[in-house]
Amino acid sequence: MKIEVGTEGLEDLIKALATEEVKQKLRLIVKRNGAELHRKAQRKAVFRGHFEGKNLVKPTGNLRRSIQPPKFASDGLSAVVRAEANYAGYVELGTRYMDAQPYMTPALEEVKPVFLAEVEEAMKK
């Protein structure tokens, strides 16, 4: 499963990135918000369990534990937070047999406004 956040004003961003000071600010913003996304995704990864036949199987916590800390690009300007469990996408998006139990998308939606505001502020200076 892959969720991407697009940007507008890429040309202005590229011009502003010419200075090392702005790059340093952006690296710090990416690091801080990547860590926050990881924390929020783990907090939201609380599930109801599932049925096998008529028996309710309680959640094991495997999906929550599989949410990895952010991995940063070599330039430090992007971060990836992902769940390693092979069924993570099915839980996030649901299937025709089970309702979605989103955890990553709500976490991203909480972090995104803060991230964008911090990037905008860094670009102004």
48 pLDDT tier (thresholds 50, 70, 90): confident
- Give the whole-angstrom CA distance, residue 88 versus residue 1: 8
- Give the whole-angstrom CA distance, residue 61 versus residue 42: 10
pLDDT over 90 at 12, yes or no: no
pLDDT over 90 at 45, yes or no: yes
DSSP H or E segment with residue 55: strand 55-57
Q: Report yes or no: 83 and 68 within 8 Å, Cβ to Cβ.
A: yes
**What is the DSSP pairing of strand 50-52 with strand 55-57?**
antiparallel
Per-residue pLDDT tens digits for 51-109 = 788 888 888 999 999 999 999 999 999 999 999 999 999 999 999 988 899 999 999 99
pLDDT over 70 at 17, yes or no: no
Other CB atoms within 10 Å distance of the CB of residue 36: 17
Structure confidence at residue 21 (pLDDT): 86
